[in-house]
Chain A
Amino acid sequence: MLERLRKNTFRHGVHPPEMKDDTADLAIRQFPFAPVLIVPLSQHLGKPAKPVVREGQEVVRGQTIAAPDGFMSVAMHAPASGRVRRITLAPSISGTKVESIYIEPYPASTQEIDDGEPCSLDATPDEIITAIQHAGIVGLGGAAFPTHVKLKPPEGKRLDTLFINGVECEPYLTTDYRVMLEQTEDVFMGIRYLMRATGTSEVIIAVEANKPLAAQQFRDTRPDDLPVEVRVSPVKYPQGAEKMIFSALLGREVPSGGLPADINAICCNVATTAEIGRLLPRGRGIQERVITIGGPGVEKKGNYRIPIGTPVRFALEQCAPVEDLSRVFMGGPMMGPTVSNLDIPITKGTSGITAFTSAETGGATGHKKVYPCIHCARCVEACPVFLNPSQLGILAKNEEYEQMAESWHLMDCFECGACTYVCPSHIPLVQYFRMAKKMVRKQSAA
C-alpha cells in the first residue's frame, strides 16, 4: 500500500521539453564505416588500456586491440576489419589529447565479427565480472564507468536490488528507448548475467512515463523465472541519475560521498545491460554502440548502431547537416559537452550527437545577458541533491573553492545543470561548479 502511495519520483528537478518525437519511432539502423576510425585507449573512467597491436598490423573486427591495465580499466576491440595505421595522440571531447589507435577499415571486407571465448550463465560471478571487463563494457549512459568495477561491492557490503536504468531523461535522446523496444531479449539476458555476478535477488526496471511502450513490452515478455518489476516514474529531469532512481523507487538516499552499495543497491544502464546480454554469450566485445543523431541541426535524424571511433565529422556528414548548423554536442542538451573539434571520435560513453542551429543557440550574438543573482531560489528548488547553487555561485565567483567544498557540499554536485537551466539571471552556475570541482581535486591531490 505504501508502495502505491509513493510518487515514484525524486524531490526537486526540472521539466525541459522532451523533444524525443523526431527519433523515438525510428528503428535502429547500421551506420557505415568511416574511412578512418579512431579508438581512444581511454574512453572510460580509470586507467587507459594497453595496446596489444602494432602500427601496420592487420586486425579483424571484434578482435581485442588493447587489454585492460589493472582492475580500473577495460579492453578495447577493433571496430572494423582493417589495418592499424598508427597509434598516436588524438583530440578528445575534454580538449586534451589521448593515446588512440587509428584503424583504416578495408573497404572490400565483409566485416564479419570475430567471436571470442563465450561466457555462459553457469560461470562463477568472478568469471562473469572478468568477462565483462574483457568485453570492454562501460556505462553506456554517458559516464563510461567500468561496469565490472560496480559489480564488485566493497568488502562487507551486500547487494540486494538491481536497478536497470531505462529512464533516459535527457531531451532528444532515444537510444535507450529503441534498445528497450528492439533488444528486450538481450536486456533480460543481461539481467541474468548481472544477477549471477552480483548475487542480487530483486530487479527493478525503471522507465519514465513518456515510454509506455517500453514498459509494456517488458511486462509482456518478462520470463516467468525472473524476479523483475517494471516501475514507471513521472517525467522529470534528472531522473536518470542513479542516485535519483534509488531515491525515486527505493525511497532511500545514497549517503553523501558514499556508494550505491551503502544502500545495498546497484544500478546499470539498460543499454549496458543489453550489451552484456548480447555480447557475453558470443564472447564478443563492444565494437559499436547505439546513438541518437538528432536535433534541428541535422535532417537525417535517427538512431544508429555506429562503430566506436567514428569521427563526429563523418557522422554528421552522413546525416545531412543544415546550412545554419551552429553548435554540436555529445549526448543531450542538459549535460552534453560541446564538440570543439569535429575530428574527435564517438566513444563508448557517447549516447548521442545533438546539433543545434542558431535558432536554438541564438547565434554568436545570442548570448543571454547575465544579471546579478537576485536570490530568487529557483536553483534551490531545482537542485536534485538539495544544494544552494545561489550561494555556491557567489563563492565560485570569488574563487572560494575550499569553502565551497567544505561548507557547501560542492562535491555532491553531479553537474546535472538544472540550476543553470532555471536561472533567470543566466548565471553559468554549473560551469562554475565544474571548474571549482576541478580546482578542489587539484588542490587535494597536491
Chain B
Amino acid sequence: MARLYKHLEIGSSPHVTDGASTDIIMRNVFLALLPVTAFAVYAFGTGAALVIVVATASCVLTEHWLCRWTGKPSTVGDWSVAITGLLYGLILPPDLPLWMVFMGGVFGVAVAKFLFGGLGMNAFNPALVGRAFLQAAFPQPMTHWQLPFAEGRFEDIPSSVLATPFWEPTYDAVTTATPLALMKFEGQFAGSRELMGGLTSGSVGETCGVLILLGGIYLVARNMMNWRIPASIFLTVAAMTWVFQLYDPVTYPGPVFMLFSGGLMLGAVFMATDMVASPITNAGCWLYGLLIGVLVVVIRFWGGMPEGVMYAILLANAVSPHIDNLIQPRVFGTGRGAR
C-alpha cells in the first residue's frame, strides 16, 4: 500500500478551476477579428493584406525582441500582442507605406505596452497609441483613402505601400473621402446599407459594421467581453445624435450613420473593451462607455477632424483608473445591504 503515496502533491484550494485561461481568451478575440480581416483583404486587396501582415509582425516582433533584450521569457505566447498587432493593422489606411506601419507598431508596443510593464499594466490601448503616433507624425498619408473594390486590387500593389522609408510616398490609385469626411466637409450623408455592408472607404478593417458586430456577439456569448461598454457607447452616441438631428437634420446625420461610419463599430467593440484599460465594475463600464460616446460625438461634430473614436477611447483609457477609484462594488453587509 505504501507505494501509492510516494508522489502526493500539495496544492492550495480550490482544486478545480473553470478552465478559463488568459491565452484562450486572447486567441478567441483574435478569432473574432478574422472575418473582419478577411473582408478587409477582399475589399481593399493586396495593399490591405500587406498592411495587416506588417502591422501584426511589427507588434509581435517588437514584444519578442524587447523581452529577449531585457532578459525575460518572451510573452508573445499569450496572444495579447497578436491582437494588438491585428487591431493596429485594421485601423490604418489600406495604402499606408509599410515603413510607417512598422514604425507605428514598434512605437505602440514599446511605449504603450512594454514601458508600462507588459500585459495587464498598459494604461492605454497600444494599437491606438501606435495609430495616434502615426496620425501626429504623418498626417497626410494617414488621411489618404483608397476606393474599396477597385479594379485590379488583387493584381497591383499600390505604389505608396512600397514607398522608400523617409521619402514622400507617391499615390497612383484613385482616392476618395471617408463618409465622415464627406459629412463634415461636404454635408453629404452615406446611406445606411453602404455603411453596414462595408461598401464605403475607410481604414482597413473598420468598414463592415455587420461583421464587427458578429465578432462582438461571439465574444459576448463566450463571456469574453463586457457587452456593457459597446452598449453604453452605442446608446450614448445614438441618443445624442438623435437629439441633434431633431434640432437640425441638415447639418447633423442620424444615429445609424453615426454608429456605422468611421471607426466607431471597431472601436466600441474591440478597442474600448480592452479589459486592461477599461474599468472593472459594470457600473464603471457604463460610465466609461458614456464618456467615450460623448467624446466621439463632440469631436465628430465640432472638432477639427472628421473622426474622433481614437482620441475618445485614449482619453477614456486615461480616465478608467479614476472611474475604478470612484466606483467599487458595494461590499456585502455594508451600505444599503446592512440596514
B1–A364 touching, CB < 8 Å: no
Q: Total A-B residue pairs with C-beta atoms closer than 8 Å? A: 165
B9–A326 touching, CB < 8 Å: yes
CB nearest neighbor in A for B23: A371
Given A253-B338, A317-B1, A424-B22, A335:B14 Cβ within 8 A: yes
Tell me which residues from 330 to 381 in chain A have a Cβ below 8 Å from any Cβ of chain B: 333-340, 342, 354, 356, 360-361, 363-364, 367-368, 371-378, 380
Measured between beta carbons, the chain B residues less than 8 angstroms from A335 are 13-14
Measured between beta carbons, the chain A residues less than 8 angstroms from B1 are 317
Interface of B is mostly: loop
CA–CA, A377 and B22, complex, Å:
12
Q: Mark A405-446, 1 if CB is under 8 A from B, else 0.
A: 000010010000100111111101011001000000000000
CA–CA, A59 and B267, complex, Å:
76
B7–A336 touching, CB < 8 Å: no
Given A253-B338, A375-B280, A356:B15 Cβ within 8 A: yes
The answer to whether the Cβ of A136 comes within 8 Å of any Cβ in the partner chain is no
CB nearest neighbor in B for A328: B8
A412–B332 touching, CB < 8 Å: yes
B330–A386 touching, CB < 8 Å: yes
Q: Which of B9, B15, B118, B280 contacts A380 (CB 8 A)?
A: B280
CA–CA, A309 and B31, complex, Å:
55
Given A255-B334, A256-B338, A325-B5, A371:B22 Cβ within 8 A: yes
The answer to whether the Cβ of A163 comes within 8 Å of any Cβ in the partner chain is no
Q: Write the nearest CB–CB distance from B278 to chain A, whole angstroms.
A: 7
The answer to whether the Cβ of B71 comes within 8 Å of any Cβ in the partner chain is no
CA–CA, A386 and B25, complex, Å:
24
Measured between beta carbons, the chain A residues less than 8 angstroms from B10 are 327, 338, 340
CA–CA, A213 and B144, complex, Å:
71
Measured between beta carbons, the chain B residues less than 8 angstroms from A384 are 332
Q: Which of A356, A387, A420 contacts B17 (CB 8 A)?
A: A420
The answer to whether the Cβ of A212 comes within 8 Å of any Cβ in the partner chain is no
Q: Write the nearest CB–CB distance from B309 to chain A, whole angstroms.
A: 21
Tell me which residues from 322 to 339 in chain B have a Cβ below 8 Å from any Cβ of chain A: 328-334, 337-339
Tell me which residues from 236 to 290 in chain B have a Cβ below 8 Å from any Cβ of chain A: 275-276, 278, 280-282
B14–A333 touching, CB < 8 Å: yes
Measured between beta carbons, the chain B residues less than 8 angstroms from A422 are 17-18, 20
Q: Write the nearest CB–CB distance from A279 to chain B, whole angstroms.
A: 30
Given A376-B275, A385-B333, A325:B120 Cβ within 8 A: no
Q: Write the nearest CB–CB distance from A66 to chain B, whole angstroms.
A: 29
Measured between beta carbons, the chain B residues less than 8 angstroms from A14 are 18
Measured between beta carbons, the chain A residues less than 8 angstroms from B226 are 377
Q: Write the nearest CB–CB distance from A236 to chain B, whole angstroms.
A: 13
CA–CA, A18 and B15, complex, Å:
14
Q: Which of A252, A360, A378 contacts B20 (CB 8 A)?
A: A378
The answer to whether the Cβ of B70 comes within 8 Å of any Cβ in the partner chain is no
CA–CA, A355 and B141, complex, Å:
64
Interface residues on B, range: 35 or more
B339–A388 touching, CB < 8 Å: no
Q: Write the nearest CB–CB distance from A98 to chain B, whole angstroms.
A: 19
> Which of B9, B24, B278, B334 has the largest number of chain A CB atoms within 10 A?
B9
The answer to whether the Cβ of B221 comes within 8 Å of any Cβ in the partner chain is no
CB nearest neighbor in A for B329: A386
B333–A377 touching, CB < 8 Å: no
Given A371-B22, A374-B276, A327:B15 Cβ within 8 A: yes
Q: Write the nearest CB–CB distance from B223 to chain A, whole angstroms.
A: 8
CB nearest neighbor in A for B26: A374
> Which of A323, A363, A388 has the largest number of chain B CB atoms within 10 A?
A388
A253–B333 touching, CB < 8 Å: yes
CA–CA, A378 and B276, complex, Å:
13
Q: Which residues of B contact A (CB under 8 A)?
A: 1, 4-5, 7-18, 20-25, 78, 80, 118-121, 223, 226, 275-276, 278, 280-282, 328-334, 337-339
Known: A372-B118, A422-B20. 10 other contacts (CB 8 A): A16-B18, A253-B332, A333-B14, A367-B11, A371-B78, A372-B121, A374-B22, A380-B281, A424-B21, A434-B12
Return 26 A-B CB contacts under 8 Å, by A number: A16-B16, A243-B333, A253-B337, A253-B338, A256-B334, A313-B5, A323-B4, A327-B9, A327-B15, A334-B15, A337-B13, A371-B78, A372-B118, A372-B119, A377-B282, A384-B332, A385-B331, A386-B329, A386-B330, A388-B328, A391-B280, A421-B14, A421-B16, A422-B18, A424-B20, A428-B12
Closest 7 CB pairs of A and B: A372-B120, A385-B332, A417-B14, A256-B333, A253-B337, A424-B20, A333-B15
